[in-house]
Amino acid sequence: MLIEHGYNPDVLTCIANLSSDEVFTPPKLVNDMLDLLPEEIWQDEKATFLDPFTKSGVFLREIARRLEQGLKDKMPDQQARINHIMTRQVFGIAITELTSLLARRSLYCSKTANGKYSVCDAFDAPDGNIRYTPIEHTWNNNGKCIYCGASEANYARGEALESHAYEFIHTDNPEELFDMKFDVIVGNPPYQLSDGGHGRSASPIYNKFVHQAKKLNPRYLTMIIPARWFGGGKGLNDFRQEMLNDDRIRKLVDFEDAGECFHGVDIAGGICYFLWERDYHGPCEVVNVHNDIKESAIRPLNEFDTFVRHSKAVSIIRKILTRKEKRMSEQVSSRKPFGLATNARPQRSGDIILHWQNGEGPYNRDEITVGTEVIDKWKVITS
């Protein structure tokens, strides 16, 4: 709740996550991210803020709380101050109808912005500045959404189920959603969607939210996203190069263990959040966090083709590179070194042995067309 005497207890510290792809952000983590912004922005009555993928509404609530404190001297009347913040400064786009109600409850203290118990008495419409519009995917001839890459087989659903077609990235003109400019874009976007591949195959979409937010050209952008883009991730090569070569990223905070951010959630590769500043150009402050221990270094992000998360390792890598020895990348095979699909299984007969997760069996050597030169050599496999 915005007003001081009703601020505790904080129910948003207790809400369970919807899934490992769409996790609620703890209030403490939200405030750590907001601390990246300059202090003076909380005294700016003209600054505008957008969470384009709000879930619990915690980012909007914490922004409003800071503004309510920061604008006291300029706007002594509390109700006038709250009305100004809610109607002119804080905006959100919900990812589902359910989260739109939850976000309004967090920000306005009422599931309708113009409700009897809303802390703001200046809204005429129930949505306030938190919008939710049901959106459908736009499928191409290959059965994929042209905006997010979702699989038509998995997400062409009836009205009874969520489409997971997020409004912010399902448009070519995001600036038209609110028809205004934003000083700050902040939040925790959805991370991935099933792409119709084998098993639980999924493709990242958080990169699309980052790209779309940059198109709006805010003064500041801060998001928390999976860190697997540092050196891998399906379809993230272009995004990685874009991020590494963007010298407007002023600070990057990296957690090897995502559990230090989101309790009980396993996100392979860890998690990170960053501050992108439109008018800044220079090196990045990289903060590594592990077991609550923080190590910081100022360095360029694009020194290597992939991002080296441990700053202490950078000097070691530089020393090794000066020796010009054969690199590990020249000795390690790529994915699927023998061209076999993940569902390949032993045959009834054959002249070589195929090993798979449930055992081994014969396979015909002539059916292998890739990597034949190493079939008879010793090999080591690691995850």
> By percentage, how much of the chain surpasses pLDDT 70?
92
- My answer on whether 241 and 356 are in the same domain is no
> Does 187 reside within a domain?
yes
What is the predicted pLDDT for the residue at 280? 97
Of 96-105, 222-231, 318-327, the one with minimum mean pLDDT is 318-327
Contact between residue 223 and residue 34 where contact means Cβ atoms under 8 Å apart: no
- Residue given tokens 């003209």 in the structure block: 46
Q: Is residue 269 assigned to a domain?
A: no
Same domain, 222 and 368: no
Look at residues 263, 287, 304 and tell me which one is the last residue of a structural domain.
263
Q: For residues 226 and 206, is the Cβ–Cβ distance under 8 A?
A: yes
| Least confident interval from 16-30, 77-91, 135-149 | 16-30
Residue 197 has pLDDT above 70, yes or no: no
In a domain, 307, yes or no: no
Q: Is residue 47 part of a domain?
A: yes
- Residue 200's pLDDT band, with cuts at 50, 70 and 90, is low
Q: Let me know if 7 is exposed, middle or buried by CB neighbors in 10 A (0-12, 13-18, 19+).
A: exposed
What is the rounded average pLDDT of the residues 240-260?
A: 95
- Residue where one domain finishes, among candidates 229, 263, 297: 263
Report, as an integer, the average pLDDT of 51-62. 95
Residues of the domain holding 364: 339-374
With respect to residue 368, please indicate whether it lies within any of the assigned structural domains: yes
Rounded mean pLDDT of 364-378?
Answer: 91
The least confident of 61-70, 75-84, 233-242, 261-270 is: 261-270
Write the secondary structure of 225-249 as one string of H (helix), E (strand) and C (coil): EECHHHCCCCCCHHHHHHHHCCCCE
Confidence of residue 383 (pLDDT cuts 50, 70, 90): low
If asked whether residues 206 and 347 sit together in one domain, one would say: no
**pLDDT at site 343:** 86
CA nearest to 155, candidates 180, 168, 136: 136
Structural contact between residues 227 and 309, judged by C-beta atoms closer than 8 angstroms? yes
Residues 220 and 354 reside in one and the same domain: no
- pLDDT tens by residue, 109-123: 998 999 999 999 999
Residue 363 has pLDDT above 80, yes or no: yes
Residue 183 forms part of a structural domain = yes
Lowest-pLDDT choice from 18-22, 172-176, 262-266, 374-378: 18-22
Q: CA-to-CA distance for 23 and 371, rounded, in angstroms?
A: 41
Kindly indicate the confidence band of residue 196, based on its pLDDT and cuts at 50, 70 and 90: low
Count of the separate structural domains present in the chain? 2
pLDDT in tens, 317-353: 999 889 988 877 777 877 788 988 888 899 999 999 9
Is the whole-model pTM more than 0.85? Answer: no
Same domain for 56 and 187, yes or no, is: yes
- Residue 127, class by beta-carbon neighbours within 10 Å (0-12 exposed, 13-18 middle, 19+ buried)? middle
Per-residue pLDDT at 191: 92
Confidence of residue 3 (pLDDT cuts 50, 70, 90): very low
Q: What is the largest CA-CA distance in the chain?
A: 85
Q: List pLDDT tens digits, range 258-275.
A: 989 888 788 889 999 999
Query: For the residues 197-223, what does the mean pLDDT come to?
Result: 89
pLDDT of residue 264: 78
Tell whether the model's pLDDT for residue 242 goes beyond 60. yes
Asked whether residue 363 is assigned to any structural domain, the reply reads yes
**Half-sphere exposure in the Cβ direction for 383 (13 Å, CA):** 3
Amino acid found at 307: F
* Interatomic CA distance for residues 119 and 107, integer angstroms: 8
Confidence of residue 182 (pLDDT cuts 50, 70, 90): very high
Handedness of CA 259, 265, 271, 272 (dihedral sign): negative
Residue positions counted in the chain: 383
pLDDT at 1: 45
- Considering only 231-235, 253-257, 306-310, 347-351, which range has the smallest mean pLDDT? 231-235
Q: How confident is the model at residue 88 (pLDDT cuts 50, 70, 90)?
A: very high
pLDDT at 20: 44
Using alpha carbons, list the distances in angstroms from residue 315 to 170, 250, 289, 312, 318.
43, 21, 19, 7, 5
Q: Is the same domain home to 95 and 241?
A: yes
Token couple for 23? 């996790």
Q: Mark whether 354 and 233 lie in a shared domain.
A: no
Mean pLDDT of the chain: 89
Which of 198, 233, 263 delimits the end of a domain?
263
Residue 10 confidence (pLDDT): 56
| Phi, psi torsion values for 51, nearest 5 degrees | -105, 105
pLDDT over 50 at 187, yes or no? yes
For residue 317, being part of any structural domain is answered with: no
Kindly report the CATH number assigned to the domain that includes residue 193: 3.40.50
pLDDT higher than threshold 90 for residue 9: no
What confidence score (pLDDT) does residue 53 get? 94
Position 282 pLDDT exceeds 90: yes
The 3-state secondary structure of the chain, one letter per residue: CCCHHHCCCCHHHCCCCCCCCCCCCCHHHHHHHHCCCCHHHHHCCCCCEEEEEECCCHHHHHHHHHHHHHCCCCCCCHHHHHHHHHHHCEEEEECCHHHHHHHHHHHHCCCCCCCCCCCCCCCCCCCCCEECCCCCCCECCCCEECCCCCEHHHHCCCCCCCCCCCHHHCCCCHHHCCCCCCCEEEECCCCEEECCCCCCCEEECHHHHHHHHHHCCCCEEEEEEECHHHCCCCCCHHHHHHHHCCCCEEEEEEECCHHHCCCCCCCCCCEEEEEEECCCCCCEEEEEEECCEEEEEEECCCCCCCCCCCHHHHHHHHHHHHCCCCCHHHCCCCCCCCCCCCCCCCCCCCCEEEEECCEEEEECHHHCCCCHHHCCCCCCCCC
